[in-house]
Amino acid sequence: MEDDFYATIKFKTGEEVFAKVAASEEEDRTMLIVSNPVTIDQIKSRSGLQGFKVEPWLKTTSEDMFVVDIADVLTLSESNDMEMIVMHQAYINNSNSFIKKNNKLDRKMGYISNVQDAKKILEKIYKNNIEPKS
Query: Considering the domain boundaries, does residue 53 fall inside one?
Result: yes
Residue 125 has pLDDT above 60, yes or no: yes
49-68 pLDDT, tens digit per residue, is 888 888 999 988 888 899 99
Could you list the residue range(s) of the whole structural domain that residue 88 is in?
5-102
Query: How far apart are alpha carbons 124 and 29 in whole angstroms?
Result: 67
Q: Using pLDDT thresholds of 50, 70 and 90, give the confidence band for residue 103.
A: low
CATH value at residue 73: 2.30.30.100
Give the contacts of 55 (CB within 8 A, at least 6 positions apart): 38, 39, 41
pTM: 0.66
Q: What is the DSSP string of 100-132?
A: HS-----GGGS----HHHHHHHHHHHHHHHHSP
End-to-end Cα separation, the chain, in angstroms: 80
Question: What is the tally of structural domains in the chain?
Answer: 1
Q: List, in sequence order, the alpha helices (H) in 61-110.
A: 82-100
pLDDT score of 15: 93
Query: Considering the domain boundaries, does residue 131 fall inside one?
Result: no
Helix or strand holding residue 67 (H, E): strand 65-69
